[in-house]
């Protein structure tokens, strides 16, 4: 079940992405990584190795950004412990996260 959902999300992401200003970048991959990419192509998740690598790199970049945001929020929590409060005014989802954490 989880695999089908993941494949569906991957397809949705692929169809929503538009290639604008893309560039060719030579890259070296290990045998294990290349086998996994070939399997994704074989199963129809991606149409080609190039498409698979492009989309997986995009996903990795997004995940790295999310990781940085989470680290920053953790640092805010640490400051709150030391200072007794967070030294910035927060709104939206971050405020909601803090309120839920207090429950």
pLDDT in tens, 31-83: 999 999 999 999 999 999 999 999 998 888 887 777 777 787 787 778 778 87
Count of C-beta atoms within a 10 Å radius of residue 18: 6
The answer to whether the pTM exceeds 0.75 is: no
The residue segments making up the domain with residue 71 are 28-102
Instruction: With respect to residue 48, please indicate whether it lies within any of the assigned structural domains.
Output: yes
Task: Give the residue from 50, 59, 43, 49 showing the smallest Cα distance to 7.
Answer: 43
Instruction: With respect to residue 83, please indicate whether it lies within any of the assigned structural domains.
Output: yes
Alpha-carbon gap, residue 95 to 73, rounded angstroms: 11
Instruction: With respect to residue 16, please indicate whether it lies within any of the assigned structural domains.
Output: no
Number of domains in the chain: 1
66 by DSSP, 3-state: which?
helix
Instruction: With respect to residue 17, please indicate whether it lies within any of the assigned structural domains.
Output: no
Instruction: With respect to residue 32, please indicate whether it lies within any of the assigned structural domains.
Output: yes
User: Which two tokens mark 68?
Assistant: 């940085």
Instruction: With respect to residue 22, please indicate whether it lies within any of the assigned structural domains.
Output: no
């Amino acid at each position: 079940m989880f695999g089908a959902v993941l494949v569906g999300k991957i397809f949705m992401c692929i169809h929503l992405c538009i290639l604008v200003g893309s560039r060719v970048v030579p890259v070296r991959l290990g045998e294990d990584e290349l086998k996994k990419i070939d399997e994704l192509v074989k199963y129809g998740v991606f149409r080609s190795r190039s498409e698979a690598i492009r989309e997986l790199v995009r996903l990795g970049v997004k995940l790295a950004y999310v990781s940085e945001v989470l680290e920053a929020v953790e640092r805010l929590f640490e400051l709150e412990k030391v200072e007794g409060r967070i030294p910035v005014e927060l709104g939206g989802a971050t405020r909601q996260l803090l309120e839920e954490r207090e429950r």
